[in-house]
Amino acid sequence: MSLTPAQLGAAEPHGGALVAKRPKGAGKGLQPPLSQRAARVVVLVLVLGYLILPLLAMLEFSTRGDYDRATKTFARSLQSYANIFTYPNLIDGIMTSLEIAVLTVFGMLLLLVPTMVWTVVRVPRMRRVVEFLCLLPLAIPAIVIVVGIAPVYQWMGQNLGAVGGSALTLTFIDIILVLPYSYRAIDSSLRSIDTATLSDAARSLGAGWPRTIFEVIVPNIRGGILSASVLAIALVLGEYTISSLLSFNTVQVVIYLLGKRDPFVSVAVSLLALLFAFALLFVISRFAPGADHRAQRAAEEPA
């Protein structure tokens, strides 16, 4: 990742001096180093402290063992984590959510990738329309979608047999819910490559559309596809509103119900789910299109 001196300077006034010489007086008048550094530390400690405290509390809460009356402290134990496996409902919920997550990722990709590539190479006029539709779920709260879709699900449950009543049908709504996030991720990848030229080249060499899309375009937007998929997984694993109101036992619904009986296990599962999402997102942040974008922009920008 290459950075121009100006950018380095902008981001780090003190280290910036190593790269670009700046007038001493100007720098001083602009940012009083001590008070600014102090303010920065205060902000970081306060805000990050607020964000970290509940996470620490989850760790502490879920590792409680026996209570010692004398010292008024708890022994540490991983019993709550082991207990996860003693609740078959919980395991079922986790499996259901994972299955929905996988289906959502594939459904979302099959729906979005060909459509988005098609709008870029064949019907650019429709790009705004597709964008609008993809971002529309941001303007329609999930709870409103449930109210409107409950009759549809009632119909499916009554007329489509076991398939219509399965929790896996939540995939249909989850795909809608992830559209805004997935759209943005794939869109930023598509913008960073010259999709039209790539597809013209592939087609002039005799490739049909399926081959052009899946063997030429898709490998070039891997980063966007990966982020879109990870966002979809994170969203599905955290989804509660729709599954609870349509009475499907996904992992969040089970965690909530279990919380009334054994909050320690609920907190343990929540923490694990959070760590899982964090690990996933940390991994893709290294491959995400945004990362190369920033580098690219930095390289293009005149110093």
Partner 1 sequence: MTDTPATVPASRSSAPAGPVSRGAGSGRLRGAGNYLALLPFHLYVGLFLVLPTLIVTIGAFTTADGHFTWNNIAAVFSSDVFPDAFLKSIELAVSTAILGAVFGGLLAWAVVRGNPNGLLRQFVVAASGVLAQFGGVMLAFAFLATFGFNGLVTLLLKNQLGVVLDMSWLYTLTGLAVVYTYFQIPLMLIVFLPSLDGLRQEWYDASASLGGGSWAFWRHVGGPILAPSFLGALLLLFTNAFSAYATAAALISQGAPIITLQIASQMQSEVVLGQENVGKALALGMILIVSLVMAAYAWIQRRASRWVR
Contact flags string 75-94 toward partner 1, x per CB under 8 A: --------------------
Q: What is the CA radius of gyration of the chain?
A: 25
Residue nearer to partner 1 on the CB measure, 47 or 299: 47
Q: Work out how close the CB of 157 gets to partner 1 at its nearest, in angstroms, rounded to a whole number.
A: 15
Q: Does 248 bind partner 1 (CB under 8 A)?
A: no
By CB under 8 A, name the one of 21, 38, 49, 60 that touches partner 1: 60
Question: Which has the closest alpha carbon to 111: 174, 188, 37?
Answer: 174
By CB under 8 A, name the one of 75, 123, 201, 299 that touches partner 1: 123
Q: Work out how close the CB of 139 gets to partner 1 at its nearest, in angstroms, rounded to a whole number.
A: 4
Per DSSP, the residues of 103-139 read HHHHHHHHHHHHHHHHHHHT-GGGHHHHHHHHHGGGT
Cα separation values, 107 from 102, 206, 218, 224, Å = 9, 28, 15, 16
Q: Work out how close the CB of 218 gets to partner 1 at its nearest, in angstroms, rounded to a whole number.
A: 11
Q: Does 137 bind partner 1 (CB under 8 A)?
A: yes
Judged by CB under 8 A, the stretch of 37-45, 81-89, 93-101, 216-224 that binds partner 1 is 37-45
The 3-state DSSP class for residue 249 equals coil
Q: Does 197 bind partner 1 (CB under 8 A)?
A: no
Is-contact 220 292, C-beta < 8 A?
no
Beta bridge mates, 76: 64
Beta bridge mates, 64: 76
Span 145-184, contacts to partner 1 by CB under 8 A: 145-152, 171-173, 175-176, 179
Q: Does 122 bind partner 1 (CB under 8 A)?
A: yes
- 70: its two tokens: 């004398």
Residue nearer to partner 1 on the CB measure, 82 or 283: 283
Q: Does 236 bind partner 1 (CB under 8 A)?
A: no
Residue nearer to partner 1 on the CB measure, 88 or 125: 125
- 296: its two tokens: 């690219």
Place of tokens 């030229």: 197
Q: Which runs of E-coded beta strand occur in the chain? A: 64-68, 73-76
Q: Work out how close the CB of 75 gets to partner 1 at its nearest, in angstroms, rounded to a whole number.
A: 14
Binding-site size, partner 1 (CB under 8 A)? 106
Span 213-232, contacts to partner 1 by CB under 8 A: 213
Chain mean position to CA 199: 29
* Cα distance between residue 237 and residue 25, in whole Å: 53
By CB under 8 A, name the one of 18, 75, 82, 140 that touches partner 1: 140
Q: Does 110 bind partner 1 (CB under 8 A)?
A: yes
* Cα distance between residue 273 and residue 94, in whole Å: 10
Judged by CB under 8 A, the stretch of 77-85, 91-99, 189-197, 233-241 that binds partner 1 is 233-241
